[in-house]
Amino acid sequence: MRTTDDLIRMATPTTAKEASVLREFSEHYRANPELFPFLERHALKQVRKFGWVCFDAAWAGALMELRIPGGPEFKLTAKLKAWYVRAILYGNSDLNGWLEMRRAAPDSVFGMAVAKKLPGDYAGRLEWRDGRPLTDAPTQLMKKAARSVRPAQAELFEVAG
């Protein structure tokens, strides 16, 4: 079974900001272990009810349910929403094509891309950066190469001629 922990482990942030948000997502995910299945249930409930998922609506429904006295206690921030969407699709690839997708910061960190809508799909699909379906296992080639902070050594020295 594919887990969010696997997705976090294979992430390749290339900037300090990406690394910071990935760390925030990872800490939030681990600090609130009941939240992921809670959001997953909301998404699956919406698919069963409507045949498609608007994660914004599932997110709003989860927020409303969280505010009910006696409901679960979680803090949800809008900044983490796209990260949870990618994690849900990674673990539930059968939802792919039924969830509204837009390009977002986690795509480059996780080696993913939003593909065009296929016939019969409600929305675009999430796929690996190299164009393979999300159901395939990730490979090193899909990950974005980390940019070096230092200039290439050849640029530091003049070559004597």
C-alpha 20 chain-centroid distance:
15
Q: For residue 26, name the pLDDT band (cuts at 50, 70, 90).
A: very high
Contact (Cβ atoms closer than 8 angstroms) between residue 63 and residue 72: no
Total-model pTM: 0.76
**pLDDT, tens digit (0-9, with 9 covering 90-100), for 63-95:** 777 666 665 666 677 788 889 989 988 988 878
For residue 156, the model assigns a pLDDT of: 35
H helix intervals, 67-146:
81-91, 105-110
Q: Tens digit of pLDDT for each residue in 49-65?
A: 887 777 777 777 777 77
What is the reported pLDDT for 146?
Answer: 40
pLDDT value at 139 more than 90? no
- Closest listed residue to residue 127, CA positions, set 10, 18, 119, 116: 116
Query: b or e along 48-82 (b: 16 or more beta carbons within 10 Å of the residue's beta carbon)?
Result: eeeeebbbeebbebbeeeeeeeeeeebebeeebbb
